Structure 1
Amino acid sequence: MSVVDPSLQMPNPQSVPERCEVLIVGAGPAGNACARVLAQAGWHVLLVDQLPQGRDKICGDGLIPDAHAALARLGLLDQVMSLAQHMSHVGCVGPRGGRIDVPGQLAVLPRRDLDRLMCQAAQDAGAQFVAPARFEKPLEDAQGRVNGALLKVGDALVEVQAEWVVLATGAVPKALGAAGMCERHTPSGVALRGYVHAPSMVGRIKALEIVWGKAVRPGYGWIFPAPNDCFNIGVGVTDSHSAVGGKGSKKALNLRSIFDAFVESYEPAAALMREGQLVSELKGAPLRCTLTGARWSRPGLMVTGEAAGSTYSFTGEGIGKAMETGMRVADALLAGRRQGWAEGQVREAYEQSLRALKPKFDLYQRANRVNAFPWLADVLIWRAQRSPRLLQRMSGVLNETSNPGHLVSLKGFSRLFLE
């Protein structure tokens, strides 16, 4: 799981176009999805990233049904699935060892491979990709409207004029701050993961396992089978920082200690680390959740993906929603051109599409109390083992057809014992 050395792929600053219709900063799921949709429609798209493709990305790598739907729209589902490790269940494991396997359409593909495939697909559609190219600040006209960006390409500073700039820069808030879009500098959560090559564990861990318990409280641990006899293992903690006035302080936690406690307390994790070989460093990364923490747009600029908080706080899943929000930027731009909208109408269409998603993110935030009070997972698992209807509802949460907040509400708990 090596990281590509950016110095080996330094672009020529003179190869960067002076202008484009849309400049997309960030070649992750959101930026790549947005670039592909717009390029397919014939727009002149410049897609840039501060690292070349092939870079590592800290992620659980799980592709749940919303990611499948987004990839299908992009015309990439079959290609991605040909490389991914297919799974049919999420294994939910409670503090007392109870387990329920929730069915779903699932797969695992390392983000290094997914992002590279999606970036190439954007280029195949006609987008131009330049990396490494770091976003320094937006360019503005006399009225303060963003009309491009200053990029650092090698040692040179390059100005690119654009009708629109899209920030798809992920959870690190530096670009958001430079663009005047950051409302919360601290993350919503943090995660730590590594890859373990363990052929002996293939077939012994057969689901995307999510584990709650005192050892990982107030978070959760996971083990996801990946391609090539590897496993993605990690821990995540949501609500890891308390924010005051847009800034914040980190709670007293140590991700490496939580990871070690997870391995010590969960035997499959211990066996994985004992029998396998760690083939990547254990790396941490921030999470931005619940569609909060950043302004979604300003004149000439829109924010999308995890930069806009597209990760679910309960599950830590963000790949599918990042792609979806990226395509919503593209949809707003396409509709604006098709219908002759003013700029403000384009931005309002995009923001309205995110407002429509926000109640779902709020429900996942309510369900997040399972991470703080893992005994709730014990109750849900115990009851789901006895109730096909509850198991169906849990599968609905995975497929986004059921309300996750209801599972841990007072009303929801009363229903548990009536089904």
Structure 2
Amino acid sequence: MTAETQGGGRAAGLDCEVLIVGAGPAGSACARWLARAGLVVRQIDQHPAGRDKTCGDGLIPDAHKALARLGLLDEVMRLAQPVSHVGCIGPRGGRIDVPGSLAVLPRRELDALLLRAAQQAGALFEQARFEAPLEQDGRVVGARIRRGEDVVEVRARWVVLATGAVPKALTAAGMCERHTPSGVALRGYVKAPQMVGRIKALEVVWDQSVRPGYGWIFPAPDGHFNIGVGVTDSHRDLGGKGRKKDVNLRAIFDAFVAKYAPAAELMRVGELVGELKGAPLRCTLNGAKWTRPGLLVTGEAAGSTYSFTGEGIGKALETGMLAAEAILAHRHDDEGDAATRSAYEAGLTALKPKFDLYERANRVNAHPWLADLLIWRAKKSPRLLARMSGVLNETSNPGNLVSLKGISRLFFD
């Protein structure tokens, strides 16, 4: 089948209708959504299929909803480790377990599954690196991509950048507004079958020793655990360039292990699989332009990771589908470019207040005593526990929990 027949009338001179740069959750969700609708989609990534990605691997309710929309939730859950609670642990050792629809699946497996799903829908994938956009009359009309030593041009009606937190592609495309990340994280995998059943929740730990961040242990499939630390306000923004604060992730990780007894036991009895790996985070839908003529930015490249928690898989999937829906809605319009961009920007703008609320809740990381207060009251207040569960399930406002009004309410709920 040629691209012309598969695409149902692709315009002359185009190699594809949509070129998607990136094979993470956002890129593959966008590719699957578009290919299922019959568009000719090419997807590239500088890494081979199934590459590793530094991440907590947690699938919270927004990821479950997005995977269900993609028709992939059942397949993901057959591979994932199901989890029923987030365990919130405060500096004084207090703990509250917040219920939710949760799971853990290493990104190597999740991303490979999502990419296969995009290809099964008809998207074409190759390992190649984005070099720069092709431009004509002020509009992006494709990209120069590198395959090994060769640089070739791919012409497309739309280019979608889903290139994650590293700003190189954003900068090359003229879309980067903040070169430094919003946060940083460090994680490792530990094989410890003897700990299965003892660490059952997505455990998130706040303490002065890991301030201004948090530590986590998530149970993964096959007797493995994802352990790490994150700091979601790691750089000072200085006119878009930024400068890293005094943050040493390895020192924070070591402090977390020393302070939190289950982490110490996990590292003592388990086997570290591979090395500890660090990664940047781009949060709060900030740091990049979302669109320009012929080009959309989606996923973590657009800042789709939540501040405060560092969760990003669900919103990466969601923004990838928003990009696809905008393209599909206006593919036959005479003013399709402007209408597509407007629709996509409206979709992201509608999400922005939720990201801003998580940014407000980020003060817990800077002031861990707030976690102690929330945990103390949640143990006494079913209503507060329900509100915390609502935050997890995106039915409650996370910023209200740590606002002045919210804190005062803690004493009267």
For the pair 1:137 / 2:132, whether they are aligned, the reply is: yes
- 1:341: Cα distance to partner? 4.4
Which amino acid in 1 is paired with 2:108? R
- 1:158: Cα distance to partner? 1.0
The equivalences for 1:97-246 within 5 A come to 97-131=93-127, 133-141=128-136, 143-246=137-240
Identity of aligned residues (%): 75
Q: Deviations over 1:152-178 (max 9, x none)?
A: 001100110000000000000000000
TM-score (norm 1): 0.95
- 1:316: Cα distance to partner? 0.2
- 1:54: Cα distance to partner? 2.1
Which amino acid in 2 is paired with 1:103? P
Whether the 8 Å CA contact 1:336–1:345 is kept in 2: the answer is: yes
Whether the 8 Å CA contact 1:89–1:102 is kept in 2: the answer is: yes
Q: Deviations over 1:276-321 (max 9, x none)?
A: 0001210000000000000000000000000000000011000000
- 1:345: Cα distance to partner? 1.0
How far, CA to CA, are the matches of 2:202 and 2:274 in structure 1?
20
For the pair 1:272 / 2:266, whether they are aligned, the reply is: yes
How far, CA to CA, are the matches of 1:99 and 1:339 in structure 2?
54
Q: CA RMSD in A?
A: 0.9
Whether the 8 Å CA contact 1:136–1:175 is kept in 2: the answer is: yes
- 1:342: Cα distance to partner? 2.6
How far, CA to CA, are the matches of 2:63 and 2:199 in structure 1?
22
Whether the 8 Å CA contact 1:306–1:322 is kept in 2: the answer is: yes
Q: 2:90 aligns with which of 76, 91, 94?
A: 94
Runs of 4 or more above 3 Å deviation? 338-341
Aligned residue number for residue 11 of structure 1? none
Q: 1:349 aligns with which of 343, 348, 368?
A: 343
How far, CA to CA, are the matches of 2:52 and 2:124 in structure 1?
21
Which amino acid in 1 is paired with 2:41? V
For the pair 1:62 / 2:53, whether they are aligned, the reply is: no
Which amino acid in 1 is paired with 2:113? L
How far, CA to CA, are the matches of 2:130 and 2:385 in structure 1?
46
For the pair 1:401 / 2:395, whether they are aligned, the reply is: yes
Which amino acid in 2 is paired with 1:170? G
Q: 1:286 aligns with which of 280, 283, 286?
A: 280
Which amino acid in 2 is paired with 1:191? A
For the pair 1:44 / 2:40, whether they are aligned, the reply is: yes
* Aligned pairs, number: 401
Q: 1:413 aligns with which of 404, 407, 412?
A: 407
Q: Deviations over 1:183-205 (max 9, x none)?
A: 00000000000000001100010
How far, CA to CA, are the matches of 1:88 and 1:281 in structure 2?
28
The equivalences for 1:296-311 within 5 A come to 296-311=290-305
Aligned residue number for residue 7 of structure 2? none
How far, CA to CA, are the matches of 1:339 and 1:159 in structure 2?
26
Q: Which SS does the other structure have where 1:244 is aligned?
A: coil
Aligned residue number for residue 16 of structure 2? 20
How far, CA to CA, are the matches of 1:42 and 1:345 in structure 2?
20
- 1:144: Cα distance to partner? 1.9
Whether the 8 Å CA contact 1:194–1:232 is kept in 2: the answer is: yes
For the pair 1:387 / 2:381, whether they are aligned, the reply is: yes
Aligned residue number for residue 361 of structure 1? 355
Whether the 8 Å CA contact 1:189–1:236 is kept in 2: the answer is: yes
Q: Which SS does the other structure have where 1:122 is aligned?
A: helix
- 1:56: Cα distance to partner? 0.8
Whether the 8 Å CA contact 2:14–2:157 is kept in 1: the answer is: no
How far, CA to CA, are the matches of 1:354 and 1:18 in structure 2?
28
Q: Which SS does the other structure have where 2:29 is aligned?
A: helix
TM-score (norm 2): 0.96
How far, CA to CA, are the matches of 1:214 and 1:338 in structure 2?
56
Aligned residue number for residue 332 of structure 1? 326
Q: 2:71 aligns with which of 72, 75, 81?
A: 75
